Structure formats: structure tokens, C-alpha cells
């Protein structure tokens, strides 16, 4: 089993925006972020711990300004927490092993995909292209992309 965790070395590699988002629960800019319009097939992992979070197969265009997914690739890797900041009642999502702030989950997603919208900050993600899954240690997820 891979060792997904937050380390001082991983934190030192983060950009200032990645650090603010993952460690201080900030938000990256809507529509002006790396993965909002990203369409390449592959796996999105926690930028801190590397744990698998979402696939391109579950990504959809929600027009909210951030990457949106209908479900996590591994439900146990995404933790939900009550969030009452900014005068709102929301459900924050964090990575299980890295404890990175990822974004929030809402119940206004596509009904035919379960009705959830995981609204995720690009700065909390690293993308692993389908062609690189094996090379980067995520071979077990290749089968998801085969029809």
C-alpha cells in the first residue's frame, strides 16, 4: 500500500498559492486556475500527499469557476467537515492522509451522476495523465479508463 502523507519536504515544494489553499483553507481564483477547463484523461491527486482523489471521468463542466467532480475515485480519501465560515453553512472536503483543504461539496451536481458537485481548488491538485499512471505509481487506476 502506498504511503500517502503530509511531509515537511512535500510542504516545502508547494507554491505560495498551493500552500495557502491546502494548509490555510484559502480558495484559488474562479475561472483563472489550472484545471477549471482541463479535459485530458487522467487522475487528480492531492498535491501534498499524492493520494488519489478524482478522475477525469467524473469531471464535469459546472460553470462555477473551479474544477467540479461528481464523486471521489476513493471515497475514503476525501473527508467531509462542517464549515460555517463566511456566514455560510457548507461541507468542506479535505484529503484523508494529507489533510489538505480541497474545496467543498454541494448537492447541485448532475442528478444522473448522483447529484453531488465536488467543487475543488486547482491549487490542491496535481494531475497525472493517463499515459503516466504506471510510471507515477497509479497503475491500479488504469482499468477505470478502459471500456
The CATH number given to whatever domain includes residue 44 is 2.170.150.20
3 located within any domain: no
Q: Cα angle vertex 87, ends 83, 89, to 5°?
A: 40
DSSP state of 112: G
Question: What is d(CA 22, CA 124) in angstroms, rounded to the nearest whole number?
Answer: 6
The answer, yes or no, to whether residue 86 has pLDDT greater than 90, is no
Q: What are phi and psi of 12, to 5 degrees?
A: -65, -25
pLDDT averaged over the chain? 94
14 located within any domain: yes
**Containing domain of residue 108, as a range?**
8-145
The answer, yes or no, to whether residue 147 has pLDDT greater than 90, is no
Q: Which residue has the cell 484523508?
A: 96
Question: What is d(CA 44, CA 77) in angstroms, rounded to the nearest whole number?
Answer: 12
- Return the sign of the alpha-carbon dihedral for residues 127, 26, 94, 106: negative
The answer, yes or no, to whether residue 144 has pLDDT greater than 80, is yes
Question: What is d(CA 126, CA 120) in angstroms, rounded to the nearest whole number?
Answer: 12
Residue 89: predicted pLDDT: 81
- Give the pLDDT confidence of 93-109 residue by residue, as tens digits: 999 999 999 999 999 99
Range in 82-86, 121-125, 143-147 with the lowest mean pLDDT: 82-86
What is the rounded average pLDDT of the residues 9-38?
A: 96
64 catalytically annotated: no
Please report which confidence band the pLDDT of residue 3 belongs to, taking 50, 70 and 90 as the band edges: confident
The catalytic position among 53, 119, 120, 128 is 119
141 located within any domain: yes
Domains of the chain: total: 1
What does the buried/exposed string (b/e) look like for 65-86 if buried means 16 or more CB atoms within 10 Å of the residue's CB? ebbbbbbbbeeebbeeeeeeee
75 located within any domain: yes
Please state, as a whole number, how many other Cβ atoms lie within 10 Å of the Cβ of residue 56. 20
Residue 1: predicted pLDDT: 62
- Give pTM, 2 decimals: 0.94
Range in 20-24, 45-49, 87-91, 131-135 with the lowest mean pLDDT: 87-91
Please state, as a whole number, how many other Cβ atoms lie within 10 Å of the Cβ of residue 92. 17
Amino acid at each position: 500500500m502506498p504511503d500517502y502523507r503530509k511531509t515537511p519536504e512535500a510542504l516545502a515544494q508547494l507554491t505560495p498559492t498551493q500552500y495557502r489553499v491546502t494548509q490555510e483553507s484559502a480558495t484559488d481564483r474562479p475561472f483563472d486556475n489550472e484545471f477549471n477547463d482541463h479535459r485530458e484523461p487522467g487522475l487528480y491527486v492531492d498535491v501534498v500527499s499524492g493520494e488519489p482523489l478524482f478522475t477525469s471521468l467524473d469531471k464535469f463542466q459546472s460553470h462555477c469557476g473551479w474544477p467540479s467532480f461528481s464523486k471521489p475515485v476513493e471515497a475514503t480519501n476525501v473527508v467531509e467537515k462542517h464549515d460555517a465560515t463566511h456566514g455560510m453553512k457548507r461541507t468542506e472536503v479535505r484529503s484523508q492522509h494529507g489533510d489538505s483543504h480541497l474545496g467543498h461539496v454541494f448537492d447541485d451536481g448532475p442528478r444522473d451522476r448522483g447529484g453531488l458537485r465536488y467543487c475543488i481548488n486547482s491549487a490542491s491538485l496535481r494531475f497525472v495523465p493517463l499515459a503516466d499512471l504506471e510510471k507515477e505509481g497509479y497503475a491500479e487506476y488504469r482499468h477505470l479508463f478502459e471500456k
